[in-house]
Structure 1
Amino acid sequence: MSDEAPSAALPPLRRNRDFNLLWVGQVCSELGTATATLAVPLLVLALTGSAVQAGAVRTASAIVGFALRLPAGALVDRWNRRVVMITVDVVRFAGWALLAALVLGHRVNLPVIVVIVCVNAAADVLFDPAESAAIAQIVPVRQRSLAFARNEARAYGTGLAGPPLGGLLYGLARAFPFVANAVSYAISVVTVWTIRTTLRAPQSDRPPQHLLHDMRDGVRHVLGDPFLRAVLIVAAPVNFATNGSFFVAITVLRLSDHSAAEVGIASGVLSIGGFAGAIAAGRIQRWQPSVRSLALLVMSAFVVGLLAATGVTTHLIVVIPLALPLILSPAVNAALFGRLSTRTPDHLQGRVSSVVVMFAMAAAALAPIICGALVEVVDGAAAMGLCAAVAAGATVAAMLSRGLRTEAD
């Protein structure tokens, strides 16, 4: 599917059987993940009463993902992508099923949670580039931006439904969100198994290279592109501010004696703007705005939202100013990943997507523990203020970036 066919010969993406199977399986998987993502910090808070330790668990997971992302992308470009996705889902199923059993047996503790969350993070960094590479094999070039827009809708839709479901399930029994997550991975195994496209890694005429050599190829491709270089510089602080502010909002609400169900609903509200934007992403792309103009609009609105949220961190309405800027974010992401996919040779798909995600999420790994410490030592307003300052710096950098200006011309 990497060779482009004439546009008139392309059937609609909704009739692409293999893409639909992959997409539906990941709807289930990401819905389960969203329920567990809310439940894990609630479980840690119930066991320890510490926002710092709840943040440390998330930070540990992010650090593992950061450390393994480059080699994971290189390995995905060597291995059959179907085998990678199925194996990873089996591992994730086993981990979350184990956590559910330990919670049910009242034998769970913080070290066990950290190990399971970190193993899941290692599995995630293998699955994500494998899925991106699979899309490049399943979806024709002209439809890839639309495919990534549908993935944005999937992510925001599950982010909208998952946290309230996670809060509800956690309120019924602490183990239920983890049971739901395990089941979601079992469904994903079935859908990936039934995809007809081979999904083998492209064969190379070169003799096998050392893993470090393959990793360097992916880094060189990204750093050799002025636009992608600019994206990496801007995305890291934006993701720090996003991850940190969302963590502060959820943690402070829970510490302010809001129920798990209320926290779940508040978390779901964060996805409403993004879900609406994901649905409209295809129409926005038809207007052909530049990525730079969309990114500057979103980032400026995000700074304003963070400043507004600083004064209401203990109230449920804190999520409203954080959610509104997300309306245009899916269009930016879909355009970016669609462009990345079409510019990247098939044999580099896993590595390039891993490099972009790794650098973009680098600073986000530190956000929960830094913001959690500020919440405990000062208060939620100080932590939210830090996120606003970081986002403002990223916005200025985007305005001055030559790579983004060149892309807009």
Structure 2
Amino acid sequence: MRGPVRFLDTRPLRGSRLFRDLWIGSSASQLGTQMATVAVLAQVWDLTGSPVGTGAIGLATGLPMVLFGLLGGTLADTVDRRTVVWAATAGQLLAAAGLCAQALADNRSVPLLLALVALGAACGALGAPARRTFPVRLLPADQVAAGLALTNVSFQAAMLAGPALAGLIIARWGFPAAYAAQAVTVAVSMLTVIRLPAMRPEGTDAAGTGRRPRRGGWRIILRRPTLWGSMATDLSATLLAMPIALFPLINEIRFGGDPQTLGLFLSAVAVGGITAGLLSGTVTRRRRAGLVQLTAAGVWGLALAGFGLAGSLWSALGCLAVAGAADTVSVITRSALVQVETPDAYRGRVSSVEHVIGVAGPELGNFRGGLLASATSAPFSLVVGGLSATLAVIAVAAVNTPLRAYRTPSPAPDAAPEPPAPGPADAATAAG
């Protein structure tokens, strides 16, 4: 295979119309979410002029994501997953319309604004576990990682383009236009979900009834070394080495507190991530997913320790770009491994646990980094955190042989690239 396709594995887009449509809808929604995030931040700042007010946005977003993410996992293993995602996306559309309406009405109530933000976050979290199960039902096992890589590329692109586009829209047409743009993108996403076939969990019938497993997601994870090892690797990396909260301190200490430099820190991480995504075909074709994730997580920790030691701006940005690339590779391989290794009947609940770890790990990691930095210094916190994360990943690798040796299952020779109505047979194949 020649040309860019060798680097960015586009087989899922070329081989599955359903996945292609889903990817387009998800990409649009991600772009709208980034625009709305900037609009909410700017509007709350305009209303309060207080960092406490803008900090409340995180609370209004984070709590619903954790609570409703766990509920969404149970729903995803009980009823048609397409229905769950469709209903959740409809709720997000309602929240986006509410945000647009309050902006048009020149709302001055911060609690109302945050309530609408919380509604959108809750609906998104409710559908997240079910949505995570779609690629493994629509794609052959050896293309799941490639499909997740494509989704990650669109997410990184939205992170780069969304805030800038939101700034232009807000400056020209105001907050209502930014929220209206989000509503349009969510509507596009909902239309692509409607076109999917039924996605009932294994063991249920068309009415959503039937024999269902009683064990929760945590019990399945703890019984499978590949699952708990993969999630422990991710949690070690984010809990011990998350750097975002320390960016302002590092910028103040070493680079004069220039706000443009602070923006470059964030951009460097995103640039590294999107570059890794564009080159992801070099890793998604490798079957040793466990070893790839462990290596990437270790590189993440070392790169952030290097950022803590960096004396020049270019070396600091280079370390952050490497960290962003390593994070993308780790996320892609972990997500694919978790979906392929989890029996279909449990995918919703296991995905909800993965979702909670993905939400809580970085936030707790930022909190840990800030506490250590306040007691010592930001560079010390970064170096100790990065090295600790790498050592923790090495420890997971040392005790978890199944994760080190894990290989992505090969597809069956007669596997169809796009089953018309995925069902229990697809789950059996995906579970390997």
Q: Into which bin does the TM-score normalised by the smaller protein fall? A: 0.7 to 0.9
User: Residue 141 of structure 1 aligns to which amino acid in structure 2?
Assistant: A
Report if aligned partners of 2:203, 2:211 keep a CA contact under 8 Å in 1: no
Offset, 1:95: 1.0
Offset, 1:391: 4.0
Alignment partners' CA distance in 1, 2:34 and 2:148: 19
- Residue 95 (1) aligns with residue 91 (2): no
Offset, 1:250: 8.3
Alignment CA distance shift 1:118-1:13 (3 Å): same
User: Residue 81 of structure 2 aligns to which amino acid in structure 1?
Assistant: R
User: Residue 395 of structure 2 aligns to which amino acid in structure 1?
Assistant: L
1:320-346 deviation line (CA, Å, top 9, x unaligned): 643332123332222222221221111
Equivalent runs, 1:168-247 vs 2, <5 Å: 168-172=168-172, 173-195=174-196, 197-204=197-204, 214=214, 216-236=215-235, 238-240=237-239, 245-246=243-244
Report if aligned partners of 1:164, 1:264 keep a CA contact under 8 Å in 2: no
- Residue 338 (1) aligns with residue 340 (2): no
Alignment partners' CA distance in 1, 2:169 and 2:61: 23
1:190-243 deviation line (CA, Å, top 9, x unaligned): 111223x22233334997689xx74x431111111223323333433533577x
Alignment CA distance shift 1:368-1:395 (3 Å): closer
- Residue 400 (1) aligns with residue 395 (2): yes
Unaligned runs of 5+ in 2: 1-10, 252-256, 406-432
Report if aligned partners of 2:304, 2:382 keep a CA contact under 8 Å in 1: no
Offset, 1:20: 0.5
Secondary structure at the residue paired with 2:161? helix
Report if aligned partners of 2:64, 2:125 keep a CA contact under 8 Å in 1: no
Q: Which residue of 361, 364, 368 maps to 2:362? A: 364
User: Residue 231 of structure 1 aligns to which amino acid in structure 2?
Assistant: S
Alignment partners' CA distance in 2, 1:365 and 1:350: 23
1:26-49 deviation line (CA, Å, top 9, x unaligned): 010001111222333333233223
1:4: which partner in 2? none
Report if aligned partners of 1:56, 1:368 keep a CA contact under 8 Å in 2: no
Alignment CA distance shift 1:170-1:16 (3 Å): same
Alignment partners' CA distance in 1, 2:283 and 2:145: 12
User: Residue 190 of structure 1 aligns to which amino acid in structure 2?
Assistant: L
Report if aligned partners of 2:296, 2:326 keep a CA contact under 8 Å in 1: yes
User: Residue 326 of structure 2 aligns to which amino acid in structure 1?
Assistant: L
Unaligned runs of 5+ in 1: 1-10
1:230-282 deviation line (CA, Å, top 9, x unaligned): 3333433533577x6446658999xx7959xx988875553221111011112
Report if aligned partners of 1:133, 1:350 keep a CA contact under 8 Å in 2: yes
Alignment partners' CA distance in 2, 1:119 and 1:303: 38
Report if aligned partners of 1:52, 1:369 keep a CA contact under 8 Å in 2: no
User: Residue 269 of structure 2 aligns to which amino acid in structure 1?
Assistant: L
User: Residue 149 of structure 2 aligns to which amino acid in structure 1?
Assistant: A
Alignment CA distance shift 1:55-1:278 (3 Å): same
- Residue 156 (1) aligns with residue 156 (2): yes
Secondary structure at the residue paired with 2:216? helix
Report if aligned partners of 1:229, 1:403 keep a CA contact under 8 Å in 2: no
Offset, 1:185: 0.4
Offset, 1:67: 2.2
Report if aligned partners of 1:156, 1:275 keep a CA contact under 8 Å in 2: yes
2:282: which partner in 1? 283
User: Residue 238 of structure 2 aligns to which amino acid in structure 1?
Assistant: N
User: Residue 403 of structure 2 aligns to which amino acid in structure 1?
Assistant: E
Secondary structure at the residue paired with 1:78? coil
1:67: which partner in 2? 67
TM-score (ref. length: structure 1): 0.80
Alignment partners' CA distance in 2, 1:125 and 1:194: 21
Report if aligned partners of 1:163, 1:268 keep a CA contact under 8 Å in 2: no
User: Residue 324 of structure 2 aligns to which amino acid in structure 1?
Assistant: L
User: Residue 341 of structure 1 aligns to which amino acid in structure 2?
Assistant: Q
Offset, 1:97: 2.0
1:38: which partner in 2? 38
Report if aligned partners of 2:43, 2:175 keep a CA contact under 8 Å in 1: yes
Alignment CA distance shift 1:404-1:50 (3 Å): farther
The worse-fitting range, judged by mean Cα deviation, of 299-308 and 146-155 is 299-308
Report if aligned partners of 2:78, 2:204 keep a CA contact under 8 Å in 1: no
- Residue 300 (1) aligns with residue 302 (2): yes
1:48: which partner in 2? 48
2:28: which partner in 1? 28
User: Residue 176 of structure 1 aligns to which amino acid in structure 2?
Assistant: A
Report if aligned partners of 1:269, 1:320 keep a CA contact under 8 Å in 2: yes
Alignment CA distance shift 1:209-1:203 (3 Å): closer
Alignment partners' CA distance in 2, 1:208 and 1:282: 40
User: Residue 327 of structure 2 aligns to which amino acid in structure 1?
Assistant: S
Offset, 1:155: 1.5
Report if aligned partners of 2:301, 2:385 keep a CA contact under 8 Å in 1: no
Report if aligned partners of 2:245, 2:367 keep a CA contact under 8 Å in 1: no
Report if aligned partners of 1:55, 1:368 keep a CA contact under 8 Å in 2: no
In the alignment of these two chains, the number of paired residues is 383
Alignment partners' CA distance in 2, 1:105 and 1:319: 42
User: Residue 128 of structure 1 aligns to which amino acid in structure 2?
Assistant: A
Secondary structure at the residue paired with 2:175? coil
Alignment partners' CA distance in 2, 1:306 and 1:99: 40
Secondary structure at the residue paired with 1:175? helix
Alignment partners' CA distance in 2, 1:47 and 1:194: 41
Alignment partners' CA distance in 2, 1:367 and 1:94: 33
Alignment partners' CA distance in 2, 1:60 and 1:97: 18
Equivalent runs, 1:342-357 vs 2, <5 Å: 342-357=340-355
2:129: which partner in 1? 129
Alignment CA distance shift 1:131-1:388 (3 Å): farther
Report if aligned partners of 2:99, 2:179 keep a CA contact under 8 Å in 1: yes
Alignment CA distance shift 1:153-1:64 (3 Å): same
Alignment partners' CA distance in 2, 1:85 and 1:91: 10
Alignment partners' CA distance in 1, 2:209 and 2:322: 51
